[in-house]
Amino acid sequence: MESLFDNISKALSYPKSDFKQVAESVHQSLSIEFPELAPKVLPYLILTQEVSLHRLEEMYTNTFDVQAPCYLEVGYVLFGEDYKRGHFLVKMQELQALIGHDCGSELPDHLPNVIQLILHYPHKDQLPDFLGKLVLPALSKMLRTLPQEHFYHGLLDVTFELLKEVYPLSLDHYTPSLDLPTLPTVKSEHEERGLYD
């Protein structure tokens, strides 16, 4: 399951030279583990077999980058320019650092980075709250910005459905709003060592 989510995060990232293999891995894993979801990624799989890396880079940029129809930044999708987005980004950066994940040139709330955070989320008991109040509502809004026939729509839809399937408790917390849920507290190195006791 971790490898499937890992490949989905790669497929939703800016394309690299292994994009064809990534698409094939996503489809193959879904065909074995979740065969009912595999058809959703067929448009993306077919596309990757027909276009060059340069062309896919252009299509990715036109879909997800500045002034594009769909944004992959969870905080921006949920909060826009509201001050809560800044608070959310700070927490995401802290959590990404806590799990040792390098976000590269993207923001910590970029969906592929968020998927990595989910896989290694600290305080697993708080994960349903994080998913139900932030990630799933954001994905729902992302899906509404792309037509169903769009080749990236299926990848986003599969991500949405998999998170509901693998973490069903998150649906109990599904309350889309501008209210931030409780996020794990990240202690400093000194606090972890008890130097302030």
What pLDDT does 193 receive? 44
Place of tokens 């990715």: 60
Domains of the chain, by residue range, sit at 2-186
Could you report the per-residue pLDDT of 96-117, keeping only the tens digit for each? 999 999 999 999 999 999 999 9
What percentage of the chain reaches a pLDDT higher than 90? 74
Could you report the per-residue pLDDT of 3-16, keeping only the tens digit for each? 999 999 999 999 99
Buried b (16+ CB within 10 A) or exposed e, 129-154: bbbbbbbbbbbeebbeebeeebbbbb
What pLDDT does 181 receive? 67
Give the Å distances, CA to CA, from 148 to 15, 43, 118, 172.
21, 10, 26, 27
Could you report the per-residue pLDDT of 39-76, keeping only the tens digit for each? 999 999 999 999 999 999 999 999 998 777 899 999 99
What pLDDT does 83 receive? 87
Place of tokens 């459905």: 161
What is the rounded CA–CA span in Å between residue 119 and residue 117? 5
